[in-house]
Amino acid sequence: MQIKFVNSYNELSRIANENVMQLLEAKPDLLLCAATGNSPTGVYKMLAENYHNTPERFSKMRVIKLDEWGGIEPEEKGSCETYLQEHVLRPLQISGKRYIGFKSNPENPQEECNRISSFLAEEGPIDLCILGLGSNGHLALNEPAEFLQAQCHVTELSPSSLKHKMTSGMKQKPSYGLTLGMADILHSKNILILITGSGKSEMAQQLMRGKINSQLPASFLWLHPNTICLIDRESINL
């Protein structure tokens, strides 16, 4: 993992945006795995500006959702689906044929995970996975645990994840999570992890130690040969 310190959130977003555009130039049908939350929002805003200038560059790009809160309606304001529709899918005009994501209220959550796994088996691997760092070190919704799961799975949400800003305004709180597994993420050709925001300092420091531990799922990124970790020095206070 290559760690790069930047001086501001804007610089973090700019560097990440440049990375996405370089990979998209090389592979027009890039399969982008998109995280949600505050960390990648600046990147997506810059991608939308790029689309406005050169929409043809995005005509073949594909998107897969990283994870989703389970047991809520997809139209819920804090759902990952709502976020991606607002910040990625509509701005970049990604059609339904070029997008796949977990449903937030499937009749059978495990079958929903199997559906995403089947897609990855046929259309993967992911070309670029954009990630954030959870306040407890989780990666996607792979929570700290005695062991981690390799493939898409239903997960029990930790107390800290249930306090995430995305869930704060929900009428009905999520009762579980749906997420890509660690192998799904680590099979990605390229990974960008964006670390920014107050409350991330302790986990960022633990991650930089380079010690791989299932209690810090993000530490497994040290095993990946093409991971870039961008750390916003301004907000992390490092």
* Ordered domains of the chain (ranges, CATH): 2-137+149-236 (3.40.50.1360)
- Out of 143, 153, 164, 190, which one is annotated catalytic? 143
CA distance 167 to 92: 25
The catalytic residue among 17, 67, 112, 127 is 67
Instruction: State the pLDDT at residue 119.
Output: 98
Inter-residue contact 191 to 131 (CB < 8 Å)? yes
Q: Identify whether 143 is a catalytic site residue.
A: yes
CA distance 46 to 42: 6
pLDDT score for 170: 77
Active site residue 138: yes
Strands (E), 42-94: 62-65, 67-70
* Cis before 106 (ω within 30): no
165-190 burial: b if 16+ Cβ within 10 Å, else e:
ebbeebeeebeebbbbbbebbbbbbb
Name every residue whose Cβ is closer than 8 Å to that of residue 21 and which is 6 or more positions away in sequence.
47, 50, 57
C-alpha gyration radius of the chain: 16
Tokens for 116, please give them.
């995403």
| Residue 136 designated active-site | yes
User: Distance from first CA to last CA of the chain, Å, rounded?
Assistant: 18
Residues 6+ apart with CB under 8 A from 187: 124, 125, 126
Of 17, 81, 136, 153, the catalytic one is 136
Show pLDDT as tens, one digit a residue, over the chain (238 residues): 999 999 999 999 999 999 999 999 999 999 999 999 999 999 999 999 999 999 999 999 999 999 999 999 888 889 999 999 999 999 999 999 999 999 999 999 999 999 999 999 999 999 999 999 998 999 999 999 999 999 999 999 988 787 777 776 777 889 999 999 999 999 999 999 999 988 888 999 999 999 999 999 999 999 999 999 999 998 777 6
The answer to whether 144 and 137 have CB atoms below 8 angstroms apart is yes
Whether 53 sits among the annotated catalytic residues: the reply is no
CA 153 vs. chain centroid, Å, equals: 15
Catalytic residue among 76, 81, 127, 138: 138
Name the pTM for this structure. 0.95
Nearest to 80 by CA among 93, 97, 63: 63
pLDDT for res 238: 63
Tokens of 41: 């929002």
